[in-house]
A and B are shown apart, each in its own frame.
Chain A
Amino acid sequence: MQLFPCPFCGWRDEREFLFIAEAGKERPDTTQKISDEDWARYLHSIRNDKGAVREVWMHLTCGELFILERDSVTMEVIGSIALRKDAA
Chain B
Amino acid sequence: MRDDSKRWPDPRDPSDVIEAPGLSIKKLHVARLTLLSGPRALHQTKLPLVEWPDVVTSDSLSVVLRRDRVMEVNGPARTDGWDNTEALAISDVSDAYAQVELTGENALSLLRRGTELDPKIPSRSTARLCFGLGVSLYRFRDDTTFRLHVASAHDEALWHALSDAAKHLS
Contact = CB atoms under 8 A, between A and B. Distances in A.
Assess A/B contact in the complex (Cβ within 8 A): yes
A15 interface: yes
Tier of interface size on chain A: 10 to 19
Interface string A50-88: 000000000011111000000000000000000010111
A58 B125 CA distance: 14
A6 B134 CA distance: 16
Interface in B94-149: 115-116, 121-125, 127-129, 132, 134
Given A10-B123, A13-B115, A64-B66, A87 B128 contact: no
A88 B128 contact: no
A8 interface: yes
A9 B38 CA distance: 18
Contacts of B124: 8-10
A13 B123 contact: no
B73 interface: no
Interface string B35-60: 00011111100000000000000000
B68 interface: yes
Interface of chain B, main secondary structure: loop
Contacts of B66: 8, 62-64
B61 interface: no
Given A62-B65, A62-B66, A87 B40 contact: yes
A61 B129 contact: yes
Interface residues of B, number: 22
Contacts of B123: 9-10, 12
Nearest to A8: B67
A70 to B, nearest CB: 19
Given A84-B67, A87-B39, 13 more contacts: A6-B125, A8-B67, A11-B121, A12-B123, A12-B128, A13-B129, A15-B129, A62-B66, A62-B127, A86-B67, A87-B38, A87-B41, A88-B43
Interface of B: 38-43, 65-68, 115-116, 121-125, 127-129, 132, 134
8 contacts: A10-B124, A12-B123, A15-B132, A16-B129, A61-B134, A62-B66, A62-B127, A64-B67
